[in-house]
Amino acid sequence: MDDKILVTYASKHGATAEIAERIGALIAQQGREVETLPVDRVSGLAGYSAVVLGVALYMGRWRKEAVRFLNRNAEELSNRAFWLFLTGPTGEGDPVELLEGRQVPPLQRALIDRIHPRDVAVFGGALQPAKLGGFEKWIMNRVKAPAGDFRDWNAIESWSRSIAEGLAPVK
């Protein structure tokens, strides 16, 4: 197995992709070879010693392409260092509390329990009305979702450093 790290993500409007890119860059700064790709461009896990997956929560659900990636690669992920981060809650406050315990949907609970991520982080998301379609704007107004960028880059950077520290030493 190679020492390359895969940072992959499922993003709807780009906020999760930006977080994944930052995580990949920070891990690379620690002397690691990192590849950052959307999940639908990952053809397999051969050559990767560790995987970080970012999933955008969209209207309370995980992106379908992330669930397909997890199902397709569950066995291989369970045999690698694996970290998971979720993005999406908007508003002031702790993102985990904003989700009210709904980080892992019931349909994905058994899958995540089988894979055993080393850590599951939740980061605030970014909701920018200019990037939304008409239906999305209607839903946003209906549920009174706070607009803005609620990503905590300090927390993201700290979590990224903890991943780099949790990896096997570079040979």
Statement: residue 1 has pLDDT above 60: no
- Predicted local distance difference test score (pLDDT) of residue 143: 62
Residue 74 in 3-state DSSP?
helix
Neighbouring C-alpha atoms within 13 Å toward the C-beta of 48: 24
Q: Which amino acid is it at 153?
A: W
Which tens digit of pLDDT belongs to each residue from 96-137?
Answer: 666 666 677 667 888 888 999 999 898 987 766 666 666 665
Instruction: Parse the chain into domains and list their residue ranges.
Output: 4-165
CA 9 to chain CA mean position, Å: 6
4-165 is classed CATH 3.30.1540.20: no
